[in-house]
């Protein structure tokens, strides 16, 4: 099965995403898009709220989608970092095995693809925008 076809729900598993985005419009679009795809979405508008949610609900969070300046929490959570900076230090952005990078702007399809690949453990390179080589 190709990574982009990995089922979101395996048995009783439903992925929970902590979405950290400062722009309220982008946050609402991402929340809606991911929810429509079947993800449970917790959202935070800033670093402080994100860290509170990580502290309270870390055992429930499967993946954090955030700007690269959010510090990593526990070892069980996956991280998909986003940034408008296209040039980022891979050692900082993508330390293996549970972290990846997605450049902004992204589409919901690109965001979901990055989440699916990371959760499936198959993301060994950063996702590329649709139409890119």
- Full domain range(s) for residue 70: 11-120
Q: For position 91, which CATH number holds?
A: 3.40.50.2300
3-state SS, one letter per residue, for the chain: CCHHHCCCCECCECCEEEEECCCHHHHHHHHHHHHHCCCEEEEECCHHHHHHHHHHHHHHCCEEEEECCCCCCCCCCEEEEEECCCCCCHHHHCCCCCEEEEECCCCHHHHHHHHHHHHHCCCCCCCCCCCCC
**Do the domain assignments include residue 79?**
yes
**Do the domain assignments include residue 53?**
yes
| Of 107, 106, 117, 110, residue with least CA distance to 83 | 106
Tens digit of pLDDT for each residue in 6-34? 444 444 457 999 999 999 999 999 999 99
**Do the domain assignments include residue 86?**
yes
Work out how many domains the chain is built from and give that number: 1
**Do the domain assignments include residue 129?**
no
**Do the domain assignments include residue 3?**
no
**Do the domain assignments include residue 39?**
yes
**Do the domain assignments include residue 70?**
yes
pTM of the model: 0.73
**Do the domain assignments include residue 130?**
no
Tens digit of pLDDT for each residue in 60-117? 899 999 887 665 555 557 888 888 765 555 555 445 567 888 888 999 999 999 999 8
């Amino acid at each position: 099965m190709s990574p982009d076809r990995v089922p979101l729900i395996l048995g009783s598993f439903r992925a929970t995403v902590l979405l950290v985005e400062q722009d309220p419009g982008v946050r609402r679009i991402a929340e809606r898009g991911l929810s429509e795809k079947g993800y449970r979405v917790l959202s935070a508008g800033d670093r402080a709220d994100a860290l509170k949610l990580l502290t309270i609900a870390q055992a429930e969070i499967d993946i954090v989608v955030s700007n690269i300046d959010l510090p990593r929490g526990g070892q069980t959570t996956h991280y998909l970092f986003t940034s408008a900076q296209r040039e980022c230090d891979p050692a900082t952005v993508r330390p293996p095995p549970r972290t990846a990078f997605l450049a902004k702007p992204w589409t919901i399809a690109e965001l979901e693809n990055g989440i699916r690949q990371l959760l499936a453990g198959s993301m060994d390179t950063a996702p590329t925008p649709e139409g890119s080589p």
